[in-house]
Amino acid sequence: MIARRVTVAGRVQGVGFRFFAARSARETGVNGWVRNLPDGRVESLAEGEEGAVARYLDRLREGPRTGRVTDVRVEDVTITGFDVFEITS
């Protein structure tokens, strides 16, 4: 099990990015959360098997069709033990 915190910049707010991330998390089997940041970026924390987290991050790098990802920053974080994936404020 690993945990990664990711921030995504570009046209990522107002385009359904959080819902895209939540669907991607369910499909790849990761738990954690996603939220909009006040500066226009989106932040997510993903926990799961290494391959599942990697697939989730790959999807975030692509983003939804209506968005445009220009920068992705990923960092290792301590596992918290989330049981679900949720959209937060």
Across-strand partners of 76? 4
Active site residue 18: yes
- Is 4 a catalytic site residue? no
85 within 8 A of 22, measured Cβ to Cβ: yes
Catalytic option among 4, 18, 31, 41 = 18
Classify residue 20 by burial, with Cβ atoms within 10 Å: 0-12, 13-18, 19+: buried
Instruction: Please pick, among 5, 36, 55, 59, the residue that the annotation labels catalytic.
Output: 36
The catalytic residues are 18, 36
